[in-house]
Structure 1
């Protein structure tokens, strides 16, 4: 048994043949299902200029989900600091926390949320990528504004997203809990966790190191069905491996017919082996192993499959077999 809380990351995939409005409707139904199943929290990711992932601001999705749920924690995973004015982010999440006491998380990340250079520059008002020092300053100002400028009552719980040693070092320096992007860069996970714990400094936000690890999890009755459901995201990943972000999110049928190169197949198989895709027994075994290897305090599952029904079913199976 895993023995630690499980949570969910909502990436808001826009399915082939559907509209963005359909994805938005699904987010509310998904939040209600995850709450009913007893998961700890739901986070929403920030993405831009992708046909596969909706460009829905996390702060809006949090407010939308909060209106139809009552107990599950809701937050950003993450809102990308270089794309926003620190005071505006503090005001937005401070307001959410005041409206929904003890339910709001502020997960902060660094990336642009897009592979399109023109979009990245538009988000930054023409500026290039943030430097390490600029990003550190943005995070520090967000935290300061939360306390000194916009505190309306309960504060949101801040987290720092990390997929590298640099992110781990900043989370440790600022005394923030860290969310490790194992679902993006699994090869860095162990180093991130070790660097973070070794350098952690207690703060008003966090007295001891707290580690959340995000992992891709697709669970079904058979290994073949799980692979079928995971197929569409593998098509998107194959495009990303080649620096292409314009790949739409296909149906499982179209994904099964997609002609992967031998190099792509090797890379995708290697990635899948570090995630949790398969039957309930396989998924629980891999999640348990990941929790043991990292000493994680919490696992967050992301399940980028084509239909809402299959996505909820995956969370149901995992919950049933883990008692989450």
Structure 2
């Protein structure tokens, strides 16, 4: 039974046969529908130079969605701190928080947001990968600028994104709530969350450890339909397993005939076992298990399926079945 708040991560997949502008146009409908369904928050991820994911700045999508919705919290999940000047992040999200009080989140992450080295260097004006110390300074500086330079009124709620124990350690040190990318590195989840709780130091931002767990969730009326909807992202993942980040996001029909190798099938099945795929009963049961195993405070669902209608239906089914189980009727 899920009694935790449910949230969503938008990765803005660009469907084969469409343009990025078409994906961008769908983000408004998606945000409005999640708002109506009662999801707690909707975050936007920073990505660059990918045929499968739109390069839409999280701050811009956050601003647009905040003006198009009424109650759902909005923000970044995340902006990649090394790609941006800390004072600019503070000013941008501080301004949004002043315009939309108590509705803006600032999720900070470390990665480049791209698998392309030349793009990563361009984002950092020729600099190489950030060091641990540089990343810590970026996050700490952003927090300091929020208070010292931006304080226009209500501030955004800061979160630290993590997919490793190192990220969890920084969140604990700085006293920030943590959003753990279980949908990326499920093998790291339990160790990272345990480390975070064991070493957490309260701060003005967060008095106690708070854990948001992001889980890949693909839900449909039948197991077979959920598997069909998950097929396009399986093709993209198989490309990444082979060092290819240039694989487009195919249609379900194209994915159904994709020639996966046996090794790819095993790897994809292993990953899927850690996530929440299937019927509403199966998906909610798996989310409940993950919440219990991690003692999470909140679950964030990421649903990379091809069509907007199918994606919205997945979120609707999970929300409906979670409500039924909470009421003791499901």
TM interval, short-chain normalised: over 0.9
Q: 2:76 is matched with which residue?
A: 76
User: Is the 1:115–1:243 Cα contact (8 Å) retained in structure 2?
Assistant: no
Q: What secondary structure is seen at the aligned counterpart in 1 of 2:75?
A: strand
Aligned counterparts of 2:226 and 2:4: Cα–Cα separation in 1: 24
**1:81 to partner: Cα distance:** 0.2
**1:64 to partner: Cα distance:** 1.1
Number of matched pairs: 324
1:223-234 to 2 correspondences below 5 Å:
223-234=223-234
User: Is the 1:81–1:135 Cα contact (8 Å) retained in structure 2?
Assistant: yes
| TM norm structure 2 | 0.98
1:76-225 to 2 correspondences below 5 Å:
76-225=76-225
Aligned counterparts of 2:88 and 2:316: Cα–Cα separation in 1: 37
RMSD: 0.6
Q: What secondary structure is seen at the aligned counterpart in 2 of 1:237?
A: helix
CA deviation map 1:246-284 (0-9, x unaligned): 000000000001000111110000000110010011001
Q: What secondary structure is seen at the aligned counterpart in 1 of 2:68?
A: coil
**1:151 to partner: Cα distance:** 1.1
List alignment gaps of at least 5 residues for structure 1.
none
User: Is the 1:86–1:141 Cα contact (8 Å) retained in structure 2?
Assistant: yes
CA deviation map 1:223-242 (0-9, x unaligned): 00000000000000001111
Aligned counterparts of 2:263 and 2:102: Cα–Cα separation in 1: 47
Aligned counterparts of 1:18 and 1:64: Cα–Cα separation in 2: 22
Q: 2:294 is matched with which residue?
A: 294
**1:67 to partner: Cα distance:** 1.4
Q: 1:56 and 2:56 equivalent?
A: yes
List alignment gaps of at least 5 residues for structure 2.
none
**1:314 to partner: Cα distance:** 0.4
CA deviation map 1:86-109 (0-9, x unaligned): 000000000000010000000000
Aligned counterparts of 2:173 and 2:243: Cα–Cα separation in 1: 33
Q: 1:245 is matched with which residue?
A: 245
Aligned counterparts of 2:244 and 2:47: Cα–Cα separation in 1: 15
> Structure 1 stretches (4+) deviating beyond 2 angstroms?
none
Aligned counterparts of 2:249 and 2:123: Cα–Cα separation in 1: 24
| TM norm structure 1 | 0.99
